[in-house]
Amino acid sequence: MLLEIVRDPIDLRAIERAVLAPGCGGIVSFCGSVRERADDGRAVEGLRYEAHEAMARASFREIADEVLATMPEVRLAIVHRIGALNVGEIAVVVAAAAPHRAEAFSAARFAIDALKERSPIWKQERYSDGERLWVENRCSGERQ
Amino acid sequence: MLLEIVRDPIDLRAIERAVLAPGCGGIVSFCGSVRERADDGRAVEGLRYEAHEAMARASFREIADEVLATMPEVRLAIVHRIGALNVGEIAVVVAAAAPHRAEAFSAARFAIDALKERSPIWKQERYSDGERLWVENRCSGERQ
Amino acid sequence: MPVVRLVAFARLRELFGERREIALPEGAKVGDLWDTLLREEPHASALARGLRFARNGALCGAETALCEGDEISLLPPFGGG
Amino acid sequence: MPVVRLVAFARLRELFGERREIALPEGAKVGDLWDTLLREEPHASALARGLRFARNGALCGAETALCEGDEISLLPPFGGG
């Protein structure tokens, strides 16, 4: 399991190599990059992510444990970058390797959904008009 | 859309780069590699894929058209390698980029499932005991 | 006597070769081509399960008429991905 | 008078700083810390929606008692991924 918060650019292929095992025929990866347009259509110049790093890593571990509890053959990576990112750069990678593709899809989907909901990470979008906005995930914060 | 049958090793990152567009925040990719064990547990030495290349490419185009009909913002790649492959080498990559992750997951899953069902590609496993076997996908051939 | 080009894959290629020309009686259909091949290799009947045919790159049924120069493909169950 | 370390994120970090020490009356709870901060910056109340607290790296409720040296985190709604 590769579960990390990083500050340097993410090497997607290295992560996929880290989860690939000879017994795993399929890897599903989700790779989230900085989009050039916000949901409201405004041009995005860049992003800043910050995290409670210890809690975020603990949440990745919890997510991985939940995946393994139901799919023990899955090998999972969750890597999120923090700091300043430019348009097009990779912010997050979730990769799941499994002997069969159904588990790999299921694990990757669960992990990215869970990360968005429960990992203490925050995103500030910077627009071309100079404004900055902290953008919340849709489901976050509605649990308590 | 990158829809190809290739004979040389597949460069996963290049395919992901090909589908990534500035407006697409999420890429989901499925990468199928040669497993060291067959479903019955026998040690696999290597594989040979063959294809009706023209029909396989046409099937990729048909699959891509079906994805676009319901999810016009998706950018899709389907690349399958044929010829002799060793354990650990990449046989197939499906990558789907979309503004939001639900579409990317849905498109990638649909594409790999459809490829396995309808693309005229055949796989011969070669085991360490010297035997060779043409291995069928579970659902294939049951449609007519 | 239409002459068609037979293209076989996987186990069927091992039996019948990758490509060959084959002459059939006037009015012959895709199914007649398969029957002709079975007379040549009777144990190929074990490979009929899930077998599909294609004429000039498009799936077709056994009742499809053969024309001079057609490419007829024998497609066993698929294994890609 | 327990002294706790406050760690704030996102908009709350912009208001209260990233890390600071804060002294509270004996018996104070996490909710009392938040009320103390609100007296300092009344318009922070607009940020109460979806706010969660953590004590020493574990989510906790407003009724959690504060101990000397605790790290109390203010976690606005998440935006990772």
User: pTM for the full model?
Assistant: 0.89
Q: Give yes or no for a contact between B115 and C81, defined as CB atoms under 8 angstroms apart.
A: yes
Residue-wise pLDDT tens digits, B44-72: 999 999 999 999 999 999 999 999 999 99
pLDDT at residue number A1: 86
pLDDT at residue number A22: 73
The band of A144, judged by pLDDT with boundaries at 50, 70 and 90, is very low
pLDDT at residue number B41: 86
Question: Percent of chain A at pLDDT above 70?
Answer: 96
Look up tokens 């300043």; give the residue.
Answer: A84
Report the residue from A23, A32, A108 with minimal CB separation from B25.
A32
Residue-wise pLDDT tens digits, B73-93: 999 999 999 999 999 899 999
A28 touches chain B (CB under 8 A): yes
Domain hosting A64: range is 2-128
The band of A143, judged by pLDDT with boundaries at 50, 70 and 90, is very low
Identify the chains in contact with C, defined as 3+ C-beta pairs within 8 A.
B
Three-class secondary structure assignment of chain B = CEEEEECCCCCHHHHHHHHCCCCCCEEEEEEEECCCECCCCCEEEEEEEEECHHHHHHHHHHHHHHHHHHCCCCEEEEEEECEEEECCCEEEEEEEEECCHHHHHHHHHHHHHHHHHHCCEEEEEEECCCCEEEECCCCCCCCC
Residue-wise pLDDT tens digits, A41-95: 899 999 999 999 999 999 999 999 999 999 999 999 999 999 999 998 999 999 9
Residues 6+ apart with CB under 8 A from C25: C1, C32
D50 touches chain A (CB under 8 A): yes
Look up tokens 């068609």; give the residue.
Answer: C4
Domain boundaries, chain C: 3-75
CATH architecture of C3-75: Roll (3.10)
The band of B122, judged by pLDDT with boundaries at 50, 70 and 90, is very high
The band of B130, judged by pLDDT with boundaries at 50, 70 and 90, is very high
**Cβ within 8 Å, pair B52-C9:** yes
**pLDDT-wise least confident of A35-44, A83-92, C35-44, D24-33:** A35-44
pLDDT at residue number B142: 45
The band of C3, judged by pLDDT with boundaries at 50, 70 and 90, is very high
Q: What is the dihedral of CA B33, B34, B36, B38, to 10 degrees?
A: 110
CATH number of the domain enclosing B16 = 3.90.1170.40
Q: Quote the number of domains for chain B.
A: 1
Mean pLDDT along residues D24-42: 95
Asked whether residue B142 is assigned to any structural domain, the reply reads no
B26 touches chain C (CB under 8 A): no
Asked whether residue A140 is assigned to any structural domain, the reply reads no
Query: Is the model's pLDDT at B105 over the cut of 90?
Result: yes
A134 touches chain D (CB under 8 A): yes
The band of A13, judged by pLDDT with boundaries at 50, 70 and 90, is confident
**Complex confidence, ipTM:** 0.87
pLDDT at residue number A16: 87
Query: Is the model's pLDDT at B141 over the cut of 50?
Result: no
Asked whether residue B136 is assigned to any structural domain, the reply reads no
B114 touches chain C (CB under 8 A): no
**Cβ within 8 Å, pair A122-D81:** no
Rounded Cα distance between B137 and B119, Å, is: 11
A120 touches chain B (CB under 8 A): no
List CB contacts (< 8 A) between B10 and chain A: none
Q: Give yes or no for a contact between A12 and A94, defined as CB atoms under 8 angstroms apart.
A: no
Query: Is the model's pLDDT at A141 over the cut of 60?
Result: no
Report the residue from B31, B101, B112 with minimal CB separation from A16.
B31
Look up tokens 């910056």; give the residue.
Answer: D41
Give, for A51, the enclosing helix (H) or strand (E): strand A44-51
Question: Nearest residue on chain D to A90, judged by CA atoms?
Answer: D81
Question: Nearest residue on chain A to D13, judged by CA atoms?
Answer: A50
| Cβ-based neighbour number of residue D59 at 10 Å | 17
Task: Tell me the pLDDT of chain B averaged across its residues.
Answer: 92
pLDDT at residue number A139: 63
Task: Report strand pairing: D52-55 vs D58-60.
Answer: antiparallel
Q: Give yes or no for a contact between D5 and D71, defined as CB atoms under 8 angstroms apart.
A: yes
Strand, coil or helix: D78 = coil
Mean pLDDT along residues D44-73: 96
Residue-wise pLDDT tens digits, A22-33: 777 799 999 998
Query: Is the model's pLDDT at B143 over the cut of 50?
Result: no
The two three-digit tokens of residue D55, written as one number: 């004590």
User: For C43, how many CA atoms within 13 A lie in the half-sphere containing its CB?
Assistant: 3
pLDDT at residue number A5: 98
The band of C73, judged by pLDDT with boundaries at 50, 70 and 90, is very high
Mean pLDDT along residues D1-20: 93
Mean pLDDT along residues A94-103: 92
Mean pLDDT along residues C49-61: 97
Asked whether residue A55 is assigned to any structural domain, the reply reads yes
**Cβ within 8 Å, pair C78-B112:** no
A27 touches chain B (CB under 8 A): yes
Residues 6+ apart with CB under 8 A from B30: A26, A27, A28, A101, A104, A105, B92, B93, B94, B95, B108, B109, B111, B112
pLDDT at residue number A12: 86
